[in-house]
Amino acid sequence: MLDCRTMSEEPVILTEGAALIEIAPPAFDVDIAIAYATADNFTGKPVYGRPGCYLHEEAAKLLARAIALAADIGLRLKIFDAYRPTEAQWVLWNHTPDPDFLADPRRGSPHSRGVAVDLTLIDRSGRELDMGTGFDAFTPLSHHANRDIGADAARNRHLLLGIMTAAGWDFYRNEWWHYQMFESRRFPLVSDKALAQPMMPSA
């Protein structure tokens, strides 16, 4: 079991069969911008009631590696989403049931297991590097192998891919921003009800 005191002053959020770690400074030198806690996402309205950012303890270790690799070249990570309650996955799917960009909640998303993260690279001033599209752009231009984006964007995507894969993450071919742990389905799905402090809005 990871000693969370080495990563965060916040306590572990205990769930059934999982331990989620809060991803937040100063333990994690990242910029947090949880898109689904705002109206700035493809649904046009907030999905979360609060901007929680959590990862399974094993995924948190890999994120710490990625943070260190990015820092070595003067860059930081900006996180758009991490753990996503199973209830939220249904909200997204019911709005846009597109299997090319969203996991069918009946199978379960790696996000809902706490082992996936959506992110980009930023420079030390906080400026996002050009990736050719924005986060959650449901278009072929978002595919990793798309060659219709500019050279700078392609270079930045390759840079992010190199950092994340070197840190031990797998990638999803259709979304340049999405990374997940290998064999993600070995981790249990986690409901919002299992959280000590729920993320979904109250009814």
User: Could you list the active site residues?
Assistant: 175
According to DSSP, the β-strands at 178-180 and 116-122 are: antiparallel
CB atoms within 10 A of CB 77: 24
CA distances from 90 to 47, 56, 68, 83, 113 (A): 10, 20, 34, 14, 14
Peptide bond connecting 51 to the previous residue in cis, omega within 30 degrees of 0: no
